[in-house]
Amino acid sequence: MITASAGDAGYLNWLSEEQPASANYPASSPNVIAVGGTRLELNEAATARESETVWNDGGEAEGVLEGAGASGGGCSEEFTAPRWQQSVSNWSFVGCGSARAVADISADADPYTGVAVYDSTESEGEKGWAMIGGTSVAAPIIAATFALAGGARGVEYPARTLYENEGKTPAPLYDVRAGSNGECLKPFLRGKGLSGCSAIEQAGSCEVQAICLAVHGYDGPTGVGTPDGVGAFIATGVGGEPPAPPPSTPVQPVTGVSAPGERAPAAKLSGLRLTRRAVAALTRRHPKISSLGFSFALTRRRESAL
């Protein structure tokens, strides 16, 4: 099972000057679970969800605002939507025709309402707790929820499980019905981390269709919704029961050679010790690493890779 970020540059990457106007790959592949982003507001006691909307920080008319972002998404130009995606009741309103739509599901991704991370290094002279976001946060949240539910349980396309469970009444998901990840060129409201446009203004990017506008049921920015427990992540078989896991082969202890009829003793490890070179390496002083970076390029015809 693989989760893939829908992207942080909004519907068809409208916030990016470098990425093409398309859905991002590999999120657009039906072989993965495409994860969009939301803005999660908690109640005053921070113990329960107060509201949840599409993540869209917006930008400025002069160009891309540094640090701004929005949940990615769009209709794929490469992949056809599987039958289990086209089975949602409002598919005709999504606006993708027979094309694969991104995303499948979503989770909190707005840096203004994101997750707390402790940085123990002194990067840029600061260390301690910080709030981070992005669909690169939302994707592992969804992966972890699947893990809590017992994993994919042998389902070939794990995203299918989400769509099948979304059709239940009541659906074991939180249905996000507000917001859009469409284009907005009005000033960004810095203090609150909000777009300066209304959802309808943003949804003009997709002709007010559900591929970039949150609606009841499935929509592009948030998919089938956000986790409300783990019920939507459990694959069901005949009679609604989870399919039995594949039989596992018991691990046999490693044994030595023994004569016929004799019970061989279990193998043991002993006398473990470090080499002189390893001891020297451990006692040598090392410079403190304050940052680590990497880059990669993954390309596919037409659709951009994250």
Residue in the block written with tokens 């004569």: 259
CB 195 within 8 A of CB 188: yes
Indicate if the pLDDT at residue 258 is higher than 90: no
Predicted confidence (pLDDT) per residue in 4-51, tens digit: 999 999 999 999 988 999 999 999 999 999 999 999 999 988 888 999
Checking if the pLDDT of 89 tops 60, the result is yes
Q: Is residue 19 part of a domain?
A: yes
- Neighbouring C-beta atoms of residue 157, cutoff 10 Å: 18
Whether 290 is in a domain gets the answer no
Pairing of strands 70-80, 9-11: parallel
* Region class of 55: left (phi > 0), else alpha (psi between -120 and 50), else beta: beta
Task: Give percent above pLDDT 90 in the chain.
Answer: 55
- The alpha carbons of the chain give a radius of gyration, in whole angstroms, of 24
For residue 190, what pLDDT band results from cuts at 50, 70 and 90? low
Owner of token pair 């040598």: 284
State the pLDDT confidence band at 104, using cuts at 50, 70 and 90.
very high
Distance, CA of 272 to CA of 274 (rounded, Å): 7
Question: Does residue 285 belong to any structural domain of this protein?
Answer: no
Identify residue 156 by its one-letter amino acid code. E
Q: Which of 282, 4, 298, 291 is nearest to 135 (CA)?
A: 4
Asked if 139 and 3 count as a contact pair (C-beta separation under 8 A), the reply is: yes
Q: What is the pTM of this model?
A: 0.75
Query: Does the residue 123 lie in any domain?
Result: yes
Give the total number of structural domains in the chain.
1
Instruction: Tell me the residue range of the domain where 50 lies.
Output: 3-231
Q: Does 241 map to a domain?
A: no
The arithmetic mean of pLDDT across residues 173-184, rounded, is: 95
Asked whether residue 228 carries a pLDDT value surpassing 70, the answer given is yes
In a domain, 277, yes or no: no
Q: CATH number, domain at 157?
A: 3.40.50.200
pLDDT band at 127 (very low <50, low <70, confident <90, very high): confident
Q: Which pLDDT belongs to residue 301?
A: 44
Q: Over the stretch 44-63, which tens digit does the pLDDT of each residue have?
A: 888 889 999 999 986 543 34
Residue 279 lies in a domain: no
